[in-house]
Amino acid sequence: MCLHHGDTPIPTLTRTHELRADSSSHSPQSPPAFTARRLTGTTFHVTEVDDVYDEHPFIYAKLVPAAGTLLLLDTGCGGASRNPEAAFNRLRDYLERCPVTDNDGLPLNEGGKMEYVVVLSHCHYDHILGVEQFAEDSLILASGHDPAFLAPETLPQHSLCADLGIHAPSYRPVLLSHQAQITSRDRKTLGMTLLHTPGHTPDEVALWDEEEGMLYVGDTLYERAPIIFPSEGSIVKWLGTIDSLTALVTGCGPKGEYQV
């Protein structure tokens, strides 16, 4: 949600938080740093429970076993928890090892059997701080709307990591065009279309799951909070994006219903 554009104080990061990055010493009975619930037949909503930034970022995981792939929309804050006892405080560990009740008690990607395709809804820190856990062996996808905005030299500023005094993740995304179909490495469909939705930021994207009538919009819309426009945002472009998304989803989805 990127709360730190407004009046919300920026938390002070301490060595204690850094030391929490290793979950190996925690008891299996400790509460996990993430929770997951099933949204659709294929997709789970993963939430970071008590992150040190108070962002509680939303992450979406679409399981596509036929393509041997887990499609991940965003990587949240990566798992740094305020709870020193939290288990699975790396997103990838959570996905591969933590039982999920709504997934028949199995991890969403048990043992890392499926490869990952990671789509970043935009480059704000609370969507990318976990991306390095996937960057070495996975496809990382982002918007091709304004490539200069995602240049590595400007990422610390545009991700807001510089404002927080934290390291900006290192990754090299493949930049996709508007309405690109998301596929696995071997070009099998993952059932999602990427849409350029500038406004909150120039690189904001949405994912459209036409078959399931689901639109995943990143920070373009919040359910219970006002939209935030950083200095690189544009309310004029955002209004155009909302018109386009509304036209897209109206009357679509199973039984003519849709969800955002």
Judged by beta carbon, residue 97 or residue 158, the one nearer Zn ion is 158
Span of 17-25, 69-77, 117-125, 245-253 interacting with Zn ion by CB under 5 A: 117-125
**128 in contact with Zn ion (CB under 5 A):** no
Phi, psi of 81 (to 5 degrees): -105, 150
∠ Cα 186 97 63 (to 5°):
35
Contacts with Zn ion, 153-182, as mask; x by CB under 5 A: ------------------------------
Rounded to the nearest whole angstrom, what is the least distance from the CB of residue 162 to Zn ion in the complex?
15
Rounded to the nearest whole angstrom, what is the least distance from the CB of residue 219 to Zn ion in the complex?
4
- Distance CA(186)–CA(177), nearest Å, equals 19
Name the residue with tokens 């992450």. 59
Judged by beta carbon, residue 48 or residue 219, the one nearer Zn ion is 219
Quickly count: other Cβ atoms within 10 Å of residue 77's Cβ: 24
Rounded to the nearest whole angstrom, what is the least distance from the CB of residue 63 to Zn ion in the complex?
26
CA distances for 70 relative to 61, 113, 117, 234, angstroms: 7, 9, 6, 32
Rounded to the nearest whole angstrom, what is the least distance from the CB of residue 200 to Zn ion in the complex?
6
Rounded to the nearest whole angstrom, what is the least distance from the CB of residue 217 to Zn ion in the complex?
11
Span of 61-69, 85-93, 159-167, 213-221 interacting with Zn ion by CB under 5 A: 213-221
Bridge-based pairing state of the strands 139-143 and 174-176: parallel
Rounded to the nearest whole angstrom, what is the least distance from the CB of residue 216 to Zn ion in the complex?
14
Contacts with Zn ion, 2-41, as mask; x by CB under 5 A: x---------------------------------------
State whether the Cα torsion 68-254-39-102 is positive or negative: negative
SS3 label, residue 244 = helix
Span of 1-9, 48-56, 84-92, 235-243 interacting with Zn ion by CB under 5 A: 1-9
Structure tokens given for 150: 């995602």
Rounded to the nearest whole angstrom, what is the least distance from the CB of residue 142 to Zn ion in the complex?
13
- Distance CA(188)–CA(84), nearest Å, equals 40
- Distance CA(245)–CA(29), nearest Å, equals 43
Bridge-based pairing state of the strands 115-119 and 139-143: parallel
Of 93, 128, 219, 233, the one binding Zn ion (CB under 5 A) is 219
The one-letter amino acid at 74: D
Please work out the total of residues on this chain that contact Zn ion, with binding judged by CB under 5 A: 3
**124 in contact with Zn ion (CB under 5 A):** yes
Interacting residues with Zn ion (CB under 5 A):
2, 124, 219
